[in-house]
């Protein structure tokens, strides 16, 4: 009888929002989950009630030595890695002509360079036949005024996904990304507090509602599973049809609210 090993999945940015929902979805599917986050205490809290077979780790995705050390620690604790999910991200709001370059670099460093480092060291660590999923955004394909750094980084991540899929396919490793629309999380909550922003999002979403973190996590779980064994280099749009319309003008709403 062939015994299928228990999958071990690393969830970077797993302490809140979509990452946290993904941790719970994977644990429920029988994965041993290594939760990594800049906030190690929050990473540990993400495992409350899930059992001692899981682990929590601190990582700064902008620090290559920290990302490399993360995967080494997961290997030491769990013996192997079969799945990697990267949900780390930050954003800011500024027009192109007024954008502070340091702030621009901060967003790109987390959302794109950090994703590259997770793919690099995750790809080195993964078992052949494993899978990686990155969290990109509706803004990868739909530009938003005031989101130049975030849009550029997330669009770059789509291309990074495709190149990684090309290069790692020989080892049977699948590399995909998921692209959510409006999901209320700690990252998006400040924008949702600006009058008119949520209504504008929903008016431009054919299904007429925002998404839930668990809905994104379910697709990530699928992409890590054997059911998705012939899917690679793909970006899955999960946005209620928002990509069919227009992106809200966040700058206009900010100006109306605060002058």
Q: Which ranges of the chain does DSSP label H, i.e. alpha helix?
A: 17-28, 40-45, 64-78, 101-108, 114-125, 148-168, 189-192, 197-203, 213-224, 250-258
Whole-Å CA distances, 24 to 5, 156, 241? 19, 28, 26
CB-neighbour burial class of residue 134 (10 A; exposed 0-12, middle 13-18, buried 19+): buried
Catalytic residue among 150, 165, 175, 213: 150
* Helix pair 114-125, 148-168: axis angle to 10 deg: 20
**Other beta carbons within 10 Å of 214:** 15
Q: Which residues contact 159 (CB under 8 A, 6 or more apart)?
A: none
Walk across the sheet containing 174-180 and list its strands: 55-58, 32-37, 8-12, 83-86, 131-135, 174-180, 235-238
Neighbours of 4 (CB within 10 A): 7
For residue 201, indicate whether it is catalytic: no
Q: Tell me which residues are annotated as active site.
A: 150
């Amino acid at each position: 009888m062939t015994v299928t090993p228990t999958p071990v999945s690393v969830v970077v940015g797993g302490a809140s929002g979509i990452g946290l929902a993904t941790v719970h979805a994977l644990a429920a599917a029988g994965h041993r989950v290594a939760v990594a986050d800049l906030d190690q205490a929050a990473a540990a809290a993400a495992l409350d009630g899930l059992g001692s077979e899981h682990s929590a780790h601190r990582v700064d995705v902008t620090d290559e030595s920290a990302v490399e050390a993360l995967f080494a620690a997961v290997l030491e604790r769990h013996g192997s890695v079969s799945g990697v999910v990267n949900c780390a991200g930050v954003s800011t709001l500024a027009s192109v002509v007024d954008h502070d370059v340091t702030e621009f670099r901060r967003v790109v460093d987390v959302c794109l360079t950090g994703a590259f480092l997770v793919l690099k060291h995750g790809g080195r660590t993964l078992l052949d036949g494993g899978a990686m999923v990155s969290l990109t955004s509706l803004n990868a394909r739909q530009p938003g005024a005031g989101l130049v750094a975030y849009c550029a980084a997330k669009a770059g991540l789509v291309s990074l996904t495709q190149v990684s899929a090309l290069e790692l396919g020989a080892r049977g490793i699948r590399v995909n990304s998921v692209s959510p629309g409006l999901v209320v999380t700690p990252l998006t909550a400040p924008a949702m507090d600006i009058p008119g922003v949520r209504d504008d999002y929903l008016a431009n979403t054919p299904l007429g509602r925002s998404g839930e973190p668990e809905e994104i996590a379910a697709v990530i779980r699928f992409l890590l599973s054997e059911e998705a064994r012939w899917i690679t280099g793909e970006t899955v749009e999960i946005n209620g049809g928002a990509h069919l319309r227009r992106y809200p003008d966040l700058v206009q709403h900010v100006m109306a609210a605060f002058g």
